């Protein structure tokens, strides 16, 4: 497995986790718990953004992996 495929797999997993965090945040009634989910979601969004940037760099440096 190439580095870019590992990064893309991690990115896809994180995007799934983002959806789960959003869902749990909507389902809970406790405000403190909602805050925890919002904070976790913000951290997850930052990581996703960083990894998307990394994918772009990897695809630029290794064009044969673009779109895979």
The yes-or-no verdict on residue 68 having pLDDT over 70 is no
Q: Which domain holds residue 42?
A: 3-65
- Number of domain units in the chain: 1
Q: What is the largest CA-CA distance in the chain?
A: 48
Beta-strand runs (E) in the chain:
none
What would the pLDDT profile of 2-61 be if each residue is shown by its tens digit?
Answer: 888 999 999 999 999 999 999 999 999 999 999 999 999 999 999 999 999 999 999 888
pTM (2 decimals)?
Answer: 0.86
**Pairwise CA distance, residues 18 & 40, whole Å:** 9
Phi, psi (deg, nearest 5) at residue 2: -80, 165
Reference 40, options 20, 14, 21; nearest CA is 21
């Amino acid at each position: 497995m190439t580095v870019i495929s590992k990064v893309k797999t991690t990115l896809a997993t994180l995007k799934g986790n983002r959806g789960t965090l959003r869902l749990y945040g909507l389902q809970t009634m406790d405000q403190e718990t909602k805050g925890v989910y919002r904070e976790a979601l913000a951290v997850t969004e930052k990581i996703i953004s960083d990894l998307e940037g990394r994918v772009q760099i990897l695809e630029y440096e290794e064009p044969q992996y673009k779109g895979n």
